[in-house]
Structure 1
Amino acid sequence: MAEAIEWTKSAVGFGTPGPNDDFYHGRTLPEKHHEMTETWYWGFNEPVSGMHGFIHIWTHPNLELCTAGLFVHMGSKRDQLACELFDFRNFTPDTIFDDNGNITLANGLTVEFEKPMERMRIRYANPDRAFSLDMVQEAVQPAIMRSNNAHFEQTMRSVGKVVFEGCDYAFDNLTIRDRSWGERRPEGGHKMPPYTWMNGAFSKDFSFCISGLDDPARNPDWAGLYDIAPDKIMSDAWVYDHGEQLRLSRYSKITERAPECGLRPVRHVIDCTLENGRELQFTGEVVGSVPWHCWQNALCHTGLTLWTCTQTGETCWGETQEVQWNDYAYRMSRPVG
């Protein structure tokens, strides 16, 4: 039997976001274990160049530690350090907040919450890499909270510009951010198939964020290696449809991966039924990704994905973030030489 990862789970229904949920909950939370974490994530993209940006802040409040930074890539990379920009710091104090809750990281990236839960400005400059970022993200949909009131995603309009080696890359599009706090996130390796977090925003009225494992009935690449019950393949999932926040009553996903490129995801097909009975299919073509070592025992393939909704014909740019662990990578990788 394969393992489960508790921090990806959501019960039925939704929680309620609060006005201060952008700000650090930190050591005020009841969970005092050293594995308790708190995270912020923002993404951005400029599809003409294939640019995808990834900002991640990960604190361990009870250890008073912060791991945070950003990377930006154009197309697919074989290694995270091959990105156009990669600048993370693994072991710094979590004293990254000013009196107003705004963030300044050790690498100089700043996040100013101009209107908490609605609008934030993010800036970063790295002269050594001839790189700068100036971006405003503004909410176009409400924060969609898990029923545990400790994790939300939110569709944002991302407007800004990257300058890299003298070239400007301006963008104005939709993206989905992620925020979590108060739960343990163990670093051990899991004996299970890849876990995939996928999102796309077709418009201010229609978006999705769906996470889970491949459906064993669709003959995934790991078929025969792991015993996964059908009712255990979906983790957290929602669709926002013209003002309604909807959970799924059915979920089935298959991901195609490239063995010659480190098992990176290249295509997803998600079939699902919403709790109101509407059936949807989302097909995602991953146009560029990076194998990011989010921590030592996990590899997260992060990338820019072109999504199509079969029923509506709409397309949008979104993301793939797929976590893989040692057992799967070892069993699936081809020998070298």
Structure 2
Amino acid sequence: MSEKRIAWMSDGHGFGTATDQDDFYHGRALEDKHFTTTETWYWGFYEATSNLHGFIHIWTHPHLGLCTAGIFAHFGHKRDHLAAEVYDFQVYMPDSIFDEQGNIETANGLKIEFERPMQKMRIRYANAARDFNLDMVQEAVQPAVMRSNNRHFEQVMRSRGAVRYQGRDYPFDNLSIRDRSWGEQRHEDGYLLPPYTWMNGAFSEDFSFTIGAFDDPKRHPNWEGLYTLSDDQLLTDAWIFDHGKTLKVTAVSKLTQRADDQLRPVRHVIQCTTEDGGQYQFHGEVLASNPWHSWQNALCHCGLTRWTSPQWVGEGWGETQEVQWNDYVARLSPPV
């Protein structure tokens, strides 16, 4: 597999340390001056009763002075990204989106105010044409889980707020996992790889996970026979937070089942082992999804996922983000 891919997806070497400045733009001070060096912010939100799923992403290229940013929100599954009830991404904006305090406002009206760095932020967006309004506060309930390179973290947040869409309110108060990265090259090549799935889930303030992995060939994925992956290539990066302990995941066997189109993820079955020898299982059902082209050579299926686990009574909620490239989609997508 390409080392360029591994550079920004993988980290199997323990944890780094977050600081209060890590919410703010590192920008052109980054050591790596390559044009593909990027910086990102991601937040999700959802209202499970209506299968409302929302996605916010800000992606800058500091050394090009560019920013791609926006939001989409949708109910249930969509065949095309523009079928989302709200879809508003702009690809080419200047990265002059920060005020003197480091707060963010993009050209398409997305506003993020960092009320307490790494702890609390308010996120607002209004779209009069679509009669859509989002106002939410996300507040940390677990510490940020930093990769050992100190360039990427994930964090469990308490998300409170509401969506108002076409005269109806959809209030929510739930857990959501955000992520943040900077200083990594993100090459836009079309890789000769099977789908790569990044998944997260929060069951409570005491139990959560993030797992990035490929399907296990031994579990007969739908791409069986087309690609070759060894056991040590299946896991890119993963952790479990279990009652105060943040544990690195050292091995994963995962199978994602996909819809009849062979593309859209519908279900995940995961078995994994942590650094202390613990065994965990997670079962995910994707209840709402939207196919998003994060860049032209990649298709990313983003969706709301309900999780269950033998390690927890009740259910958790989180995100599926599965990246697919031209080779896979061309091979597996049936003709119309």
Q: Scaled by the length of structure 1, what TM-score is found?
A: 0.98
Which one-letter code corresponds to 2:26 in the other structure? H
Corresponding residue for residue 240 of structure 1: 241
The CA RMSD over aligned residues, in Å, is 0.9
Corresponding residue for residue 80 of structure 1: 81
Contact persistence 2:12–2:250 (CA under 8 A): no
Contact persistence 1:3–1:191 (CA under 8 A): no
Corresponding residue for residue 213 of structure 2: 212
Corresponding residue for residue 282 of structure 1: 282
Instruction: Give 1:195-234 correspondences, 5 Å limit.
Output: 195-234=196-235
1:107 is paired with a residue whose SS is coil
How many Å separate the matches in 1 of 2:250 and 2:128?
50
Corresponding residue for residue 306 of structure 2: 306
2:23 is paired with a residue whose SS is coil
1:63 aligns with 2:46: no
1:48 is paired with a residue whose SS is helix
Which one-letter code corresponds to 2:283 in the other structure? T
Contact persistence 2:288–2:305 (CA under 8 A): yes
Displacement of 1:87 in angstroms is 0.4
Instruction: Give 1:57-206 correspondences, 5 Å limit.
Output: 57-206=58-207
How many Å separate the matches in 1 of 2:195 and 2:260?
14
Displacement of 1:307 in angstroms is 0.3
Displacement of 1:288 in angstroms is 1.0
How many Å separate the matches in 2 of 1:125 and 1:227?
46
Percent of aligned pairs with the same residue? 63
Which one-letter code corresponds to 2:100 in the other structure? D
Per-residue CA shift, 1:123-149, capped at 9, x if unaligned? 111111100000000000000000000
1:21 is paired with a residue whose SS is helix
Displacement of 1:3 in angstroms is 4.1
Which one-letter code corresponds to 1:333 in the other structure? S
How many Å separate the matches in 2 of 1:196 and 1:11?
16
Corresponding residue for residue 292 of structure 2: 292
Q: Scaled by the length of structure 2, what TM-score is found?
A: 0.98
Contact persistence 1:141–1:154 (CA under 8 A): yes
How many Å separate the matches in 2 of 1:172 and 1:9?
32
Which one-letter code corresponds to 2:228 in the other structure? D
Displacement of 1:270 in angstroms is 0.5
How many Å separate the matches in 2 of 1:249 and 1:71?
34
1:263 aligns with 2:263: yes
2:99 is paired with a residue whose SS is coil
2:222 is paired with a residue whose SS is coil
Which one-letter code corresponds to 1:280 in the other structure? Y
How many Å separate the matches in 2 of 1:165 and 1:146?
41
How many Å separate the matches in 2 of 1:28 and 1:249?
33
How many Å separate the matches in 2 of 1:225 and 1:83?
32
How many Å separate the matches in 2 of 1:176 and 1:65?
26
Contact persistence 2:146–2:152 (CA under 8 A): yes
Instruction: Give 1:316-327 correspondences, 5 Å limit.
Output: 316-327=316-327
Corresponding residue for residue 31 of structure 2: 30
How many Å separate the matches in 2 of 1:307 and 1:93?
38
Per-residue CA shift, 1:92-123, capped at 9, x if unaligned? 00000000000001111100000000000001
Contact persistence 1:68–1:89 (CA under 8 A): yes
Contact persistence 1:3–1:192 (CA under 8 A): no
Gaps of 5+ in 1: none
Per-residue CA shift, 1:196-253, capped at 9, x if unaligned? 0000000001000000100111111111111111101101100001111101132110
How many Å separate the matches in 1 of 2:302 and 2:142?
23
2:121 is paired with a residue whose SS is strand
Contact persistence 1:109–1:122 (CA under 8 A): yes
Displacement of 1:317 in angstroms is 1.3
How many Å separate the matches in 2 of 1:312 and 1:137?
24
Displacement of 1:319 in angstroms is 0.8
How many Å separate the matches in 1 of 2:314 and 2:150?
31
Gaps of 5+ in 2: none
Contact persistence 2:12–2:236 (CA under 8 A): no
Bigger mean CA deviation after superposition, 243-252 or 138-147:
243-252
1:136 is paired with a residue whose SS is strand
Displacement of 1:335 in angstroms is 1.5
Contact persistence 1:73–1:290 (CA under 8 A): yes
Q: Which contiguous aligned blocks of 4+ residues in structure 1 show a shift greater than 6 angstroms?
A: none
Aligned length: 334
How many Å separate the matches in 1 of 2:178 and 2:15?
17
How many Å separate the matches in 2 of 1:259 and 1:321?
18
